Chains A and B, each alone.
Chain A
Amino acid sequence: MLSTAEERHVDEQVTDGALLSAVAQGSSAALEVLYRRHASWLIVRLGRRCADPAVVDEVLQDTFVAVWKGAGKFRGGDDAGAWLWGIAIRRLVDAFRRQPPAAYPLESAEVLGTRESAEDLVLLGVEHGDLAGALHRLSPELRAAVQATVLDGLTTREASRLLGVPAGTIKTRMMRARRVLRKELA
């Protein structure tokens, strides 16, 4: 009988890729290890795109059921973070198609008002150069469109479902966002 700490240690030795191979063979224990490893950050990240916790929980559930069925399709090596997020965000889009959300949680004035600390901005500068400042000057609507299509990697149609606006609007917003960013970064 292993203690909890030892169990965790054993779990940490196993890569996501190995766990997913076991899941593909029908191991629900491997699915649970994967779930315990990834559920928290997926819940938080989904929660930033959907204000209703009940919907987030349902999407998380759908995500791991989809992982159970599609584990054999994983071709990503050791870490499954990006792959899992790709499934989760599409499940969220599906949930929004079944039941459109009241409103996509754009940033409130309060959050917009709090500026990142100087240190945060320096860190961002290291990662992204001038991009951070430029993104900051986009309107919340334009930024949400950039986030959905560029950072979450959704198609225009998927982004339109996620944000609850027509696909044409996403295209226009992306065009405007690109124009602003190009000018700012030139």
Chain B
Amino acid sequence: MTASQWHLDPDLVRRYADGGLGSVLAASVEQHLVSCPDCRTLLDPHVGAARLDTVWADVLERVEQPPRTVLERMLGAIGVDDPTARLVAATPSLRGAWIAGVTLVLGLALVAAYADPQGVGLYLVLAPLLPLAGVALAYGPAADPAFEIAAATPYSQVRLLALRTAFVVTTTMLPATVAGLLLPGSPWIAVAWLVPGLALTVGTVALSTRLAPHLAAVALAVAWLGVSLRALAPRRDPLLAVSSPVLLASALVLATAVAVLVVRRRDLAELLRRTS
């Protein structure tokens, strides 16, 4: 009798599967199983079909998922769970084209600032509009190809909007702040626009309880241009775009918007559920 003719018998297999076989004999069985397809099939009756089907269903779900994007992996690394990461990553304003647009606008503002002292004013006027535009594009049927799916998902729409807004604000405000640090003059410029920027962003979300998000964004953008360009025009000092009255007004808008959101969070949820 040679080793290749040695095969398992049903009783040995049963004792192995039940865990009732000593480890030396079990090791022999295992060494044989690794290279004998016929004997491996003897173990099939010892494992429940339901258990095998459950594990297979989980395997199938994982292999049929589209691979995770770089952004989703980064979100996962900071503790965001997988479905949330996928919904956030589907945000239109987090896609490559949008980020390229932000970089272009900031680049132009930098060039303008170096060409002419008035250019700093251009930066201060444009920078707060970036997160505003990002948020306007972050949600709603006009902007989001996944909107129908997002709206039909049993997932808090307000939470999704808040998450997306937070990520959009981060991805626009960080590069804009870095660009501000590269501007000639006081480093104060880099942060001076943050208050109006936040006010416009949160204001858009608050107004979205009444208006479509893009309309709310346009209305606020026009208002901001009016205020900042007026402040800028007469005395030709670019920093006036974010002078104390402007900052104070922005802080007021921010506080009002936050208050509106807190009071109307139910309306917001309702609005977000409607698909038009």
Chain A interface residues toward B at CB < 8 A: 28, 31-32, 35-41, 43-45, 47-48, 53, 57, 60-61, 64-65, 68, 79, 81-82, 85, 107, 111-112, 114-116, 120, 123-124, 126-128, 132, 135-136, 140, 143-144, 147, 151
Residue from the list B22, B24, B26, B56 in contact with A39, Cβ < 8 A:
B56
The 5 residue pairs across chains A and B that have the minimum distance between CB atoms: A40-B47, A40-B43, A68-B63, A41-B43, A64-B59
Residue from the list A44, A82, A116 in contact with B35, Cβ < 8 A:
A82
> In chain B, residues 24-71, which have Cβ atoms closer than 8 Å to a Cβ of chain A?
24-28, 30-31, 33-37, 40-41, 43-44, 46-47, 51-52, 54-56, 58-60, 62-64
Identity of the chain B residue whose Cβ is nearest the Cβ of A143 in the assembled complex: B23
A43–B51 CB distance below 8 A: yes
Apart from the given pairs A39-B52, A107-B23, A151-B31, 11 other A-B contacts in the complex at a CB distance below 8 Å: A31-B63, A32-B56, A40-B47, A44-B46, A57-B51, A57-B55, A61-B58, A81-B36, A127-B28, A140-B23, A143-B23
A79–B37 CB distance below 8 A: yes
Cα separation A60 to B52 with both chains bound (whole Å): 10
Cα separation A41 to B3 with both chains bound (whole Å): 20
With known contacts A44-B16, A61-B55, A61-B62, A107–B33 Cβ distance under 8 A = no
Residues of B within 8 A of A32 (CB): 56, 60
Residues of A within 8 A of B1 (CB): 126
- Among A39, A65, A132, the one with the most B-chain Cβ atoms within 10 Å of its Cβ is A39
B33–A48 CB distance below 8 A: no
B28–A35 CB distance below 8 A: no
Question: B144: shortest Cβ distance to chain A, in Å?
Answer: 29
- Cβ-based interface call for B188 (8 A): no
Residues of B within 8 A of A128 (CB): 28
Count of residues in B whose CB is under 8 Å from the partner chain: 40
Q: Which label, helix, strand, loop or mixed, suits the secondary structure of the A interface?
A: helix
A48–B3 CB distance below 8 A: no
Residue from the list A44, A68, A120, A127 in contact with B3, Cβ < 8 A:
A127
What are some 20 contacts across the A-B interface (CB < 8 A)?
A: A28-B63, A35-B59, A41-B33, A41-B43, A43-B47, A43-B51, A44-B43, A53-B51, A61-B55, A61-B58, A64-B59, A79-B35, A79-B37, A81-B36, A111-B22, A114-B20, A126-B6, A132-B25, A143-B24, A151-B30
Identity of the chain A residue whose Cβ is nearest the Cβ of B36 in the assembled complex: A81
Identity of the chain A residue whose Cβ is nearest the Cβ of B7 in the assembled complex: A123
Cα separation A69 to B216 with both chains bound (whole Å): 46
- Cβ-based interface call for B163 (8 A): no
With known contacts A28-B64, A81-B33, A151-B31, A60–B55 Cβ distance under 8 A = yes
B24–A82 CB distance below 8 A: no
Cα separation A45 to B62 with both chains bound (whole Å): 24
- Cβ-based interface call for B154 (8 A): no
Residues of A within 8 A of B23 (CB): 107, 135, 140, 143-144, 147
Question: A127: shortest Cβ distance to chain B, in Å?
Answer: 6
Identity of the chain B residue whose Cβ is nearest the Cβ of A84 in the assembled complex: B34
Cα separation A134 to B19 with both chains bound (whole Å): 21
Cα separation A36 to B16 with both chains bound (whole Å): 20
B24–A124 CB distance below 8 A: yes
Question: B14: shortest Cβ distance to chain A, in Å?
Answer: 11
A81–B59 CB distance below 8 A: no
- Cβ-based interface call for B12 (8 A): yes
With known contacts A61-B58, A82-B34, A116–B26 Cβ distance under 8 A = no
A132–B37 CB distance below 8 A: no
Question: B274: shortest Cβ distance to chain A, in Å?
Answer: 38
Question: B151: shortest Cβ distance to chain A, in Å?
Answer: 30
Residues of A within 8 A of B33 (CB): 41, 45, 81
Identity of the chain B residue whose Cβ is nearest the Cβ of A124 in the assembled complex: B28
Identity of the chain B residue whose Cβ is nearest the Cβ of A123 in the assembled complex: B6
